Structure formats: C-alpha cells, structure tokens
Amino acid sequence: MSTPSKHLIISEETRLILDEIQALRKEVAALREESHGVVLDIRDMVAEIHAMEKVEKAVEAGLAQVEESLEQAMGESQPSMITCEACGSDVERHEAESEFLLICKACGHTAFANRRVTPDRRLLADRRKQGQSIGEEMPEIEPAAPPDWTQH
C-alpha cells in the first residue's frame, strides 16, 4: 500500500500574495541597509560640527586676545566691538557720525567706539614726506585765501 502524498496545492492568488510578501521583505532589508548608512553619515556630520565648534571657539578666543593686545598697544581703552563690556553678550553695531554705537542685545548697555583708532595712513605718509616724525604735532596750516574773481 502506498502512502498518500501530501502535496499542497496553492492557488494562483496565494502564489501572487507570497511573491508580493517576498518582494516586500527584500525591500525592507534594502531600506534597513540604507537607513543604517544614513545614520552613519549623520554621526560623521555631527562629529564634524562639534570639531568646527571647537575651531570657532579657538578663533574667537584668538580674536579676543588680539583685540586686547591692540587695546593695550594703542594705550586707549576702547569698548569691544563684539561683546558687551557690562555683561559679555553680543552687541549690535550701528554707524554714527565718526563712531559706532554699540548696543548690547541682552542688557541694552550702550557705548560708543571710535571708527578708526589709528591715525589715517595718508596723514602719516604726508608727515613723513615733510620730514616730520609721527609723534610731533601737526603744524597748523593756514587756509588759502579764496581767489578774487572780480579782478581780470
């Protein structure tokens, strides 16, 4: 006697559903792999951002040192053009006639800063041409009399 064979008979509709499930599994596996790559890329970008923040802080510290050195070298105490002298927050710069009006964004403190702390280079060059040293006072120059247009 022979044993009855157990063959499953799958309808065409069931076969299509199974094929669709298999295709969906492959798609999910591909998406999982892609998302893993994206996560790794994001981690790399975050690490780069943190590195750039460290560089930015170092540059800001260097600029603050240069600014302080310039203030000491100039012998003139000028308010910082970047931070508030009262609270240390960032300041806004507004042009005034010959200066900048500095307004603190946080506390509202205001200060004026000279637009140009060093003498004009052209003025210094003119003094050198005249043989005058930079430390000497500039001689008063009499304005020329306007021409007399009535004479012919």
On whether both 71 and 106 belong to a single domain, the answer is no
How many domains is the chain partitioned into structurally?
Answer: 2
User: How far, in Å, CA of 85 to CA of 112, rounded?
Assistant: 11
pLDDT of residue 117: 46
On whether both 73 and 125 belong to a single domain, the answer is no
CB atoms within 10 A of CB 91: 26
Cα 100–Cα 114–Cα 111 angle in degrees, nearest 5:
55
pTM of the model: 0.35
Instruction: Write out the residue range of the structural domain in which residue 63 sits.
Output: 12-77
Cβ–Cβ < 8 Å for 113, 79? yes
On whether both 51 and 93 belong to a single domain, the answer is no
pLDDT of residue 41: 96
On whether both 89 and 116 belong to a single domain, the answer is yes
Q: Is position 147 within any domain? A: no
Mean pLDDT of the chain: 78
Q: Which segments of 99-142 does DSSP mark as H helices, in order?
A: 121-129
Q: Is position 148 within any domain? A: no
Q: Helices (H) and strands (E) in the chain — how many of each?
A: 2, 3
Cβ–Cβ < 8 Å for 77, 70? no
Q: Band the pLDDT of 58: cuts 50, 70, 90.
A: very high
